Amino acid sequence: MKIELAKSYGFCYGVKRAINIAEKHPNSVTFGPLIHNKDEIERLEKKHQVGLVETLEEAKKYDTVIIRTHGITKERLKRLKSEGKKIINATCPYVTTPQQIVEKMSKEGYTIVIFGDKQHPEIQGVASYSVLPEKTFTILSEDEIIGLPLGPKVALVAQTTRKPEAYQRIAAKLVARVQELRVFNTICNATFENQAATEELARKSDIMIIVGGKNSSNTKQLFYICQNYLDSCYHIENSNEIKAAWFDGKERCGVTAGASTPDWIIEDVIAKIKELTKES
């Protein structure tokens, strides 16, 4: 069987930057998972003594706190600083940008519409920068625009890992409803590249293996893209989840990975597939 890796996959700039920051600050903690990959988080803890806290109470016990790549809410950041902690901000610059946009545009009286998952920490952080919470709305589809109490001026931003096509549809729906619409392209370039490369590979594969955290938004997007082209798609976190039966009767296996997936996990996955299939 032929195994092919997507032309663009794995660690993005923001994740590489965050990992590099964490490795330079041993004996610290991250507020929330630094990235959405539990295996890499375990590696950082074992090799670099970088721990993990989920609450402000836990964070109080440590001198140095690293802010996760997805960012945290403005209020939580303010609370951490008030405790006199050394704050190392590893928030991805592509996430910091929509935070700044939301703060600025809400101060100018714009209704804020955010295209993304309101349960995701990135979006919770972005939304928290609005000075008009009653005029800030988070949606996952264009259908949710119906009924929103939009004002005459709207500013639109997107979660960094959303699909551009869906974002364009939302913008088109909004522009027909308001007097003024400001659309900001806050989708990460690495997301574009990984999604395009995954689609290209899925079109010519019999089976797709998508490697990344189960709670990783961008990895889920890659999985959904693959499902448009074939039934045999598997979202795994590491090589332990691979089953030999998946490859029965298959000739071309495509492998892609989310932006929080380190090379060592991808290499393990490919090695396991080779072992199970005797790659030709």
Show which residues are catalytic. Answer: 122
Looking only at the bridges linking them, the beta strands covering 136-139 and 233-236 are unpaired
Structure tokens at 42: 């375990």
Structural element, H or E, at residue 272: helix 263-277
Cα–Cα dist 128/29, whole Å: 23
- Distances 207 to 201, 229, 239, 280 between C-alpha atoms, Å: 10, 10, 16, 16
β 86-89/50-53 pair status:
unpaired
Interhelix angle 13-23/38-48, rounded to 10 degrees, is 20
Q: Are 184 and 160 in contact (CB under 8 A)?
A: no
First-to-last alpha carbon distance for the chain, in angstroms, is 5
101/278 Cα distance (integer angstroms): 51
Map residue 26 onto helix, strand or coil: coil
- Write down the number of H helices and E strands in the chain: 10, 12
- Residues 72 and 5: their CA atoms lie apart, in Å, by 33
Closest listed residue to residue 31, CA positions, set 130, 121, 99: 121
* Residue 33 to residue 279: CA distance in whole angstroms: 36
